[in-house]
Structure 1
Amino acid sequence: APEGLSRFYWTGFTGDPVASWMTREGREEEITDYTNFLSILYNQYAALCAPDVRIILMGFSQGCATQMRWVMRAFPRFHQLLLWAGAIPEDLDYLSHAEYFSGKGLHFVYGTKDPLLNQDRIEEQRRLIRDNKLAVQEHTFDGRHVVEEEMLKAMAALMRG
């Protein structure tokens, strides 16, 4: 699961350091930087895995767009993709890569009380998924904008088959 590459102190000059995603400024350069970084990490760890290892990718919140942008640039080998409490980018051409996504488990997971994913945003994602003919399974849990442990365990069991 990708995390923002920049850090800042949550309360100004003190407090816990937290990860930060890109802003509008230098957007394309940031996308190139983080997709290259993810490719380096993936290649390093994938080389250590046996060929039959099942690879699960995950994005949470803004990390969903990050994960999907990387997938659409690098086209890595994977078996399951969890998009948790976030959105896929509207500016990518999924249709021309239908064969790549065929046979992969794509999952959209979110809490029914998520303040950042209101019904309009969920409908936008459903439309984008439908229009691009992505075979995405939708999963919900009773919760907010978090990776909820019990739901994560349920998803792991589902993906194991």
Structure 2
Amino acid sequence: MKKTHSFFYQARYTISHEPTGKENLILICFHGYGQLVDFFIRKFLPFAGEDVLVIAPEGTNYQYLKDFEGRIGANWMTRHERELAISNNKVYLDSLMSEVLKVYDTLPRIAVFGFSQGAATGSRWVNEWHIKPDYLILWAGVLAHDLKIDLAEDQFRKTRILVAYGNQDEFVNEEIIRAQRKRLSEIDKEAQEVRFEGGHEIPPKILEKVMAEII
């Protein structure tokens, strides 16, 4: 018999600073497969300050990146027990953001940034979140293929969506980009596309230009 058991669990995240309740933008950053938030959040810290809070949750699955020792990375899910991982991610992220938002009398603007696997995870989670995001940035990644379309059209109605791809990205080709556009049209959205010279990465200068559109 295959069963599940619920229990108290702790998960890691990093944050630019303790929330003051006065920030007017919260940037929630989802890392890609095999990354750790300690390093991932550094890309976004230059944009943090009294007006901007940056928070980066970490996937709760860990693995050695090569063989059985050395560097370790986190991921949001694998195909094994995928639905269970999705459910656990939602509980974790809902709880985390409820705790963070307690200090705000007025809800700040919300921007969700997803890189690679984090693009699917972030868009899937926020699709069912009780708060509608102001911005959704999909970087070297795409909307979750299992978005609940009936919810997504309303959830993202007022969301500004930006997508960024490198022209040498080995994981995101033109076919995937066309499929992304079609997916967006299904929820009656168009995205601002940013194309750059590079691969599966987040070049600081390109990120700075994208963030200037939000901050």
Give the alignment's TM-score, normalised by structure 1.
0.89
Letter in 1 for 2:94: S
What CA distance in whole angstroms lies between the structure 1 residues aligned with 2:143 and 2:167? 18
Return the match for 2:135 from 80, 87, 91.
80
Q: 1:30 to 1:157 in 2, by over 3 A?
A: same
Runs (5+) with no aligned partner, structure 1: none
What CA distance in whole angstroms lies between the structure 2 residues aligned with 1:99 and 1:77? 9
What CA distance in whole angstroms lies between the structure 2 residues aligned with 1:142 and 1:91? 30
What CA distance in whole angstroms lies between the structure 1 residues aligned with 2:190 and 2:101? 25
Letter in 2 for 1:85: A
1:22-41 to structure 2, matched below 5 A, reads 22-41=77-96
> Percent identity between the aligned chains?
31
How far is 1:95 from its partner?
Answer: 4.7
What CA distance in whole angstroms lies between the structure 2 residues aligned with 1:130 and 1:46? 32
What CA distance in whole angstroms lies between the structure 1 residues aligned with 2:72 and 2:172? 25
Q: Which residue of 2 aligns with 1:10?
A: 65
Question: Looking at CA atoms only, which structure, 1 or 2, has the larger radius of gyration?
Answer: 2
Return the match for 1:143 from 198, 204, 211.
198
Q: 1:49 to 1:140 in 2, by over 3 A?
A: farther
How far is 1:17 from its partner?
Answer: 1.0
Structural RMSD (CA): 1.8
SS at match of 2:165: strand
What CA distance in whole angstroms lies between the structure 2 residues aligned with 1:29 and 1:159? 33
What CA distance in whole angstroms lies between the structure 2 residues aligned with 1:89 and 1:13? 30
Q: Deviating runs (4+, > 4 A) in structure 1?
A: none
**CA displacement, residues 116-155 of structure 1 (integer Å, 9 cap, x when unaligned):** 1011111111111123312322111111111121111111
Q: Which residue of 2 aligns with 1:152?
A: 207
**CA displacement, residues 87-116 of structure 1 (integer Å, 9 cap, x when unaligned):** 112222335543332222111111111111
Q: Which residue of 2 aligns with 1:53?
A: 108
Point out the more displaced range, 68-77 or 150-159: 68-77
How far is 1:67 from its partner?
Answer: 0.6
Q: Does 1:89 align with 2:148?
A: no
Give the alignment's TM-score, normalised by structure 2.
0.68
Runs (5+) with no aligned partner, structure 2: 1-28, 31-57
What CA distance in whole angstroms lies between the structure 2 residues aligned with 1:93 and 1:14? 39
Q: 1:37 to 1:96 in 2, by over 3 A?
A: closer
Contact 2:62 2:74 in 1 (8 A): yes
